[in-house]
Amino acid sequence: MLHRSVPIRLWRWWLTLTPLLVVLLITLAGINQGDFRTDSHVYAAVTQGMVVSGDWLHPMLGSAPYHRKPPVAFWMVAPFVKAFGPELWAVRLAMGLYAGVTASAVFVMLRGIIRFRVAMAAALVFALTHEVFRYTHAYSLDLPLALFVVLCAWGVTHAAGVRRGEARSPWWVVLAGVPMGAALMVKPGAALLLVPLLAVWLWTAGRARLIPWLAGLVLVGVALAVPWHLEMIRAYPAGSAQPFLDTYFGAETIQRFQGGDIVVPEPVWYYAQQLGETYWPWLITLVGAIIWMIWRRRPVTGVWAGDALGLLWGLAWIAILSALAGKSMRYLVPAYPALSLLCAGFLVRVIPRGRGRFGRLIPYWIAPVLAVLVALFEVSGVRIHSPPPAYRAEMLAYFDEYGGGSTDDWPALWVSPDQLRTAAHISLERGVYPGLARSEEAPLGAEPQPGDLMLYRMQDPAYPEHLRGGYCIRPGDTLLGHFGLWTVTRLESPWTGRYSRRTDH
């Protein structure tokens, strides 16, 4: 009765927005608990630097250029940082919003290939995937990347017109180059992996005539991404103190494939093992879908084009990433929409029909039920994230007291080269980013003066030596205190341009 009393257009809007609401509601649970971890504090500090400086083309981490990632993801989070400051909850809200939009985009994209119920189930499976909503409580570039990958695939599948029985204008394929260009400006090269997979899918779907148009998609995407890369090459050319190409394509791309100083190689079965540990309960439905397709020789999603898209985009993406030396579960986020498609087919079309009525009602009530559960969670005060380390607050309180209670009166702060990223926490909490003292390791640094303070990675004798940083206190400088992972000293003599190393002693 309720369904009949509400206009169908409102129901369509409600169903389209339901996956977005599901992700946002889960994100709200404990949204301000915990801390910036892994790379989140670095990305937040880079975004904060853009907002404060107004320089949107040259990402900076303190006083050093940040060449590891393009700026589009930072641009996407910048409005939240500008409006609310570099707060943990503001960054997570941005991540939750973009992950939610991705979930709704999955639903709209799949509507052009498979039946409504399977498309909605796929969007909800994606929204309720642990690795997806887990990264909404981080600053993960893979969530914006997944959004643009889905939008790019949407353009191609829309052009294919599988469900309507005939292809649409091939210019939709070329238009998909716009989100491709945005994806290339989030992480270097990762989204291009989708293009050959879509080419094979078009062939299996009987739309081979659209395959040549994928060249237009790539050209548009590359054309949108090239100007920023050329500007960075101009600003930081080969032979300069910090060449752009050496970091961007060397450390961030080549080493991901081959291994290197910043990459710890993982075995080829890493992703299969990790999916076995984290992709629950959906792993049951994913394995069931594959077994059902082989056993029954029928499409689990209802059409072979849907199965092919799920297998190519999902499983082939994982297989290709398994060949890289550097592996991380966050790299799989753009593949989860396809895995969700296979899981949804099994849930909707294979599970006994007696549960069909209950399943049809899920999209209508899941968001209100989640809203109630999240409200109860917040009222209960349950913690899902451990608090920030106490030693950081102690060190900041020490600086406040040292500077007379105001960051304006803080002494000049400097960091050793191995603490440049970690010092981002100080910038987020006090708006002061420590400088990098000039040396052979840091030619872009500046000259500290006697009386300035220097931060080193933990040099506390109470910790085992193998846990301490590679740089240590200069002879003659004054030790002011040990604060967990940080050791603070005061420079008592002019800077010599050389750091002391533990191996020197």
Give residue-wise pLDDT tens across range 438-492: 888 777 778 899 999 999 888 888 888 777 888 888 889 999 999 988 899 999 9
pLDDT of the residue at 401? 83
385 falls within a domain? no
- Segments forming the whole domain that contains residue 275: 2-380
| Least confident segment among 207-216, 418-427, 478-487 | 418-427
- Would the pLDDT of 259 be above 60? no
Residue 317: which of 301, 337, 303 has the closest Cα? 337
467 falls within a domain? yes
350 shares a domain with 429: no
* E runs forming strands in 401-477: 413-415, 435-436, 453-457, 471-472
SS3 content of the chain, % helix, strand, coil (to 5): 60, 5, 35
Give long-range contacts, CB 8 A cutoff, 24+ apart: 395-404. 395/481, 395/483, 395/484, 395/486, 395/488, 396/426, 396/429, 396/430, 398/480, 398/481, 398/483, 398/488, 399/430, 399/453, 402/453
404 shares a domain with 326: no
pTM: 0.91
CA 148-68-137 angle, 5° bins? 55
Sign of the torsion formed by the C-alpha atoms of 255, 252, 221 and 148: positive
474 falls within a domain? yes
- Would the pLDDT of 297 be above 80? yes
The Cα 346–Cα 303 span in angstroms is 13
240 falls within a domain? yes
397 shares a domain with 324: no
pLDDT band at 221 (very low <50, low <70, confident <90, very high): very high
Domain's final residue, options 356, 380, 404: 380
364 shares a domain with 438: no
263 shares a domain with 181: yes
29 falls within a domain? yes
443 shares a domain with 367: no
- Would the pLDDT of 256 be above 80? no
- Would the pLDDT of 407 be above 70? no
491 shares a domain with 373: no
45 falls within a domain? yes
252 shares a domain with 399: no
Domains identified in the chain, total number: 2
460 shares a domain with 369: no
Domain's final residue, options 317, 352, 380: 380
367 falls within a domain? yes
Checking DSSP bridges between strand 413-415 and strand 64-65, what pairing results, if any?
unpaired
308 shares a domain with 423: no
- Would the pLDDT of 346 be above 80? yes
At 81, list the tokens. Answer: 């940082």
pLDDT of the residue at 430? 85
75 falls within a domain? yes
Domain's final residue, options 380, 401, 428: 380
- Dihedral of CA atoms 384, 388, 390, 394 in degrees, nearest 10, equals -150
243 shares a domain with 111: yes
396 shares a domain with 375: no
